[in-house]
Amino acid sequence: MKILVTGGAGFIASNVSDALINEGHNVVIVDDLSGGKMENVNPKAKFYKMDIQDAQVENIFRDEKIEVMVHHAAQMDVRKSVADPKFDASVNVLGFLNLMEFGRKYGLKKVIFASTGGAIYGEQDYFPADENHPNRPLSPYGITKLVTEKYLFFYKEVYGIEHVILRYANIYGPRQSPHGEAGVVAIFTSKMLNGEQPVINGDGKQTRDYVFVGDVVNANLLALQYNGSNIFNIGTGIETDVNQLFHHLKTHTRSSCEERHAPAKAGEQMRSVISSKKISEALGWKPTVSIEDGLKITVEYFKSKK
């Protein structure tokens, strides 16, 4: 199958691209390398260095005869979205529409979309949140993800393009960057291995649902086989707080750093955890990598890159 992976030089999408290639698919990657790295791009993929807002994207759909798009390219910095909502919307909404308008013109059949489980639900009414939980995004980033989901419904109803929306929890693992709007796992691991002091915001009791990237890759492969359109959470249903995470990583890195706290970040969500019962029943997906094993694999990756 001819598959376009947007953001394919980035952390999650590069891992997805590798798996698609291993499954025998013909993969095309578009990435402007603003956050991704060329070293993440599989040599068997065809690569276009391009912004998804560029009009030249039309050439990719026209020339490559794309059947499926796995859409991960995004402005993913939540704080940046708050500071500059117009830029966030230009990438995450207008960039997406640029892709879809050319996609429908040249025969795109299906979209697998990397959405967000934490930012879409906002402060939760119940734990873990399922797909029926009210959507109350607290950031422009979460709003643009929700808007994209609504546009996908439009493209299905009007143009017959199927979609599978994957609402990710907090993903970590090999290739995650410790720079910019990075995950706490990558930041803490990098600092510990470099002999620096990580800082925990607030009391460290804020929880997240941490999912290993390999499990996320498997969810994408199952989504490719799914017939029809749907929305699925991709999470473990298990809460891990930042203090627990710190001590797991301290053990794996053999760091001598102390547990040090700083003032809490204003507006930070205290609890976020999502249920993946729906995709488990529909596609048989379950997270297979425990937080302990996943963090160990991640630390070994960071060590190999030092």
- Is 210 annotated in the active site? no
DSSP strands (E only) in 202-283: 207-208, 210-212, 230-234, 240-241, 261-262
Residue of 48, 106, 126, 141 with catalytic role: 141
DSSP state of 107: T
Handedness of CA 106, 68, 154, 90 (dihedral sign): negative
List the beta bridge partners of residue 201: 262
The angle at the Cα of 187, spanning 184 to 193, to the nearest 5 degrees, equals: 130
CA 140 to CA 146: how far, in whole Å? Answer: 10
Q: Which tokens sit at 51?
A: 């912004």
- 200 in helix, strand or coil? strand
The structure tokens 């086989």 sit at 225
The two counts, helices (H) then strands (E), for the chain are: 12, 13
Which residues carry out catalysis? 141
